[in-house]
Structure 1
Amino acid sequence: MRLLLLEDEEPALDLLRRFALTYYPAATIVGECQLVAEAVDFLRTHPAPDLILSDIELLDGNVFRLFEQVPVSSPVIFVTAYDQYLVQAFEQNGIGYVLKPVQYAQFAAALQKYDRLRQTLQGAALQQLTAAVPIAAPAPRYKQRLLSKSRQGLYLLDVADVAYLQLRNGVAYALDRAGRAYPLSETMAQLEASLDPAAFFRLNRSELVALSAIERLEPYFNDTLALYLRGLPETPLISSSHRTPELRKWLAG
């Protein structure tokens, strides 16, 4: 079993690797890519893997760009925080769709489905499988509160009061509309997966911003945007260049 992993978050990649090797102990992970460009290069220069496990938003953009640039014959199980791409996923070799935060039972069920298909379909028939395989995705439930633990005790912060989230020295913090910072136990990937994507956007590797907190935007260096937040005028948040196009789409609704 030859597996290709496409995931840009290190904690999520570690989990994907661990779950995959737990289910397939004899599997070989032939590649790990954080960029669409890396995945394109890999598939152009290596034999097709037996199975691709892929996030949807990678560091340099949406993974569906991969299918526009190189023929992909391998079946794909998508492992992602985004539920809105379900239909598109099954138009692009998708045979499974697992929503983050990932539970092993959920992940294993998708691999069991792949095993059943592999037993009944041979070679090219399996690789050409697309939208004919239906799947029921659970309705997402997003966090309404965040729990912060400090020396003073536990504090419950309403998500509606969060202006942005920021990674500082390896610890994620939620900052409220007054700029007060609350340490959290979750990783940025876990927070992104648990918050409503219509209300929060991942600007870069270390920051998520609340739509309701944005007051204005200004062009910044190298096709990035500076976001100024209501009540927090001192230092703007800066979008990364590869996330700026998606940010513009998100802001447009």
Structure 2
Amino acid sequence: MNIIIIEDELKTAKSLENIILSLRPNVKIVGQYQSIEGSVKALSEQPQPDLIFMDIQLADGLCFEIFKQVKVNSPIVFCTAFDEYSLEAFKRNGVDYVLKPFSKTDIQDAFQKVDGLQNFFQQKVIPDLSNLLTKLSSPVGKESFLVFKNQKYTTVQTENIAFFYIRNDASTIMCFDKQEFALNQSLDQIMALVSSKQFFRVNRQYLVNFKAIKEIEHYFLRKLFVKLVIETPDKLLINKEKTPAFLSWMEDR
């Protein structure tokens, strides 16, 4: 099996290579690329590999630009620190979506998924992922959160939450009626519980409900300024690297 790695962090690429070779000593790493430009050139001019491990955010932009410039027939294991690109990834030959920091077990699981595609490498046929895409696009997620306030436990319906944010180093719920409740979970844990179709992590401090977004403005340095229907303690800014994913999320309705 011939494999290429597309990853702009050299240390991560080396770690991934070592894991791959420890799990599959007989495979060949036939190329490593750090940019969209280099990847397009390699995929255009050389035989395409049996499998690609691909980061999403590369040195010169999002990896999805590669698919606009060259037809990619190889199955892809996407490795990224962000989970909001999963739907787009599975539209692009994705057979697995591994979140960083990944482990040897994560890569082993990815290989098992590739192996499980019947006659995949012989037939060179991309599997039918329509059922998986349907599940990914469905608005599933935790429906309520148990909170404790004023010496009482109560539940807050997720649909009534405008945003989650970090306040005094703790996760906090802000409801549309401006009630606030503290939570024990981290923002990362909350993000894994709620629907990725309904909530978006705009930055390290805020996880925002689509229904809470009032308008979006262009800001300095190609950032976006997001205004909600209720006031936020901080200005909500989305950096230029995350802008394409956010706009795609906004449009996917």
Please indicate, yes or no, whether the TM-score normalized by the shorter chain is above 0.5: yes
Asked whether the 8 Å contact 1:229–1:236 carries over to 2, the reply is: no
Q: CA-to-partner distance for each residue in 1:104-157, whole Å, 9 max, x for gaps?
A: 999756523534679884xxx67xx342x235538354222346799x898754
Asked whether the 8 Å contact 2:8–2:35 carries over to 1, the reply is: no
Asked whether the 8 Å contact 2:55–2:78 carries over to 1, the reply is: yes
| Structure 2 gap segments, 5+ residues each | none
1:43-122 equivalences under 5 Å are 43=39, 51-54=51-54, 62-69=62-69, 74-78=74-78, 84-85=87-88, 88-90=91-93, 94=94, 96-97=95-96, 110-115=110-115, 121=121
How many residue pairs get aligned? The number is 228
What TM-score does the superposition give when structure 1 sets the normalisation length?
0.58
Cα shift at 1:241 = 1.7
Q: Summarize the Cα distance change of 1:220–1:98 in structure 2 as closer, same or farther, 3 Å threshold.
A: closer
What TM-score does the superposition give when structure 2 sets the normalisation length?
0.58
Cα shift at 1:193 = 4.4
How many angstroms apart in 2 are the aligned matches of 1:191 and 1:68? 34
Residue 210 of structure 2 corresponds to residue 211 of structure 1: yes
1:225-244 equivalences under 5 Å are 225-232=224-231, 234-244=233-243
Give the greater-gyration-radius structure (CA): 2
Asked whether the 8 Å contact 1:144–1:160 carries over to 2, the reply is: yes
Asked whether the 8 Å contact 2:163–2:173 carries over to 1, the reply is: yes
Structural RMSD (CA): 5.3
| Structure 1 gap segments, 5+ residues each | none
Cα shift at 1:227 = 1.9
Higher relative contact order (CA 8 A, sep 6+): 1
Asked whether the 8 Å contact 1:77–1:97 carries over to 2, the reply is: yes
Residue 167 of structure 2 corresponds to residue 173 of structure 1: no
Aligned residue for 2:135? 139
